[in-house]
Amino acid sequence: MEAGFLSYTILILIWTGFGFMHSLLANNSVKHFFKKLSGYYFGYYRLAYNLFNLFFIAGALFFQFSIVENRLFELTNSLLGISILFTTTGLIIMFLSIYKLDLAEMSGTKKYKMEKSGNQLVTEGLYKYIRHPLYFGTILLFPAFIIFAGTLSMIIMVICFISYLLIAIPIEEKKLEIEFGLDYTNYKKNVKKLIPFIY
């Protein structure tokens, strides 16, 4: 598809749609609805949720990379070095963030229950310094994406994702406050949200 107003508008709508569906399907009311609908099989909801997101992202990227466009700037060795630095740092932070979480539950390979019991609020490792280190690591990848691709479509994707995170984080934190109560409220007061020592 040729680069232009139409292709970029469709791209914005696709990534906006992803953000909407990602939040909608994570909503507790929606999960309760699917629990009633699916009964025993609701245990696989998290796995289905992750697979849905994966296929949605794959489809969105397929469309994005089908847009025929020129680079906005030349990829120099200096820029390549910067992008590698951002990529390496971002991936390390993401790995250290995931390491502290329950991988089986996060991936959906552990049977999911609406009524969680004995869940612990993670405040160790990188979570001592920021409440959402996984998102911080993801954001660090964005400059690398823009440098590698060098296209307007990639800039649009990054803007859509950052906009989504700014909307989704407060929603997620409300759910965490309900789940962990005063523990999470105190954690919020003492630990920055997204950028260590700053924000």
What is the tens place of the pLDDT at every residue in 64-85?
A: 999 999 999 999 999 999 999 9
Q: Is the pLDDT of residue 129 over 50?
A: yes
Q: What is the pTM of this model?
A: 0.86
**pLDDT band at residue 100, thresholds of 50, 70 and 90?**
confident
Residue 33 is predicted with a pLDDT of 93
Residue 196 has pLDDT above 90, yes or no: no
Looking at residue 115, its pLDDT comes to 47
Q: What is the pLDDT of residue 111?
A: 58
pLDDT band at 114 (very low <50, low <70, confident <90, very high): very low
The confidence score (pLDDT) of residue 135 equals: 95
In the structure, what pLDDT confidence band is assigned to residue 110 with cuts at 50, 70 and 90? low
Q: What value does the mean pLDDT take over residues 150-167?
A: 96
Q: Quick one: three-class SS letters along the chain?
A: CECCHHHHHHHHHHHHHHHHHHHHHHCHHHHHHHHHHHHHHHHHHHHHHHHHHHHHHHHHHHHHHHCECCCCCCCCHHHHHHHHHHHHHHHHHHHHHHHCCCHHHHHCCCCCCCCCCCCCCCCCHHHHCECCHHHHHHHHHHHHHHHHHCCHHHHHHHHHHHHHHHHHHHHHHHHHHHHHCHHHHHHHHHCECCCCCCC
Average pLDDT of the residues of the chain:
90
pLDDT of residue 105: 64
Q: Give me the percent of the chain exceeding a pLDDT of 90.
A: 72
97 pLDDT higher than 50 = yes
- Per-residue confidence band for 43, with pLDDT thresholds at 50, 70 and 90: confident
pLDDT average, residue stretch 6-26:
96
Q: What is the mean pLDDT of residues 161-167?
A: 95
Model pLDDT, residue 107: 65
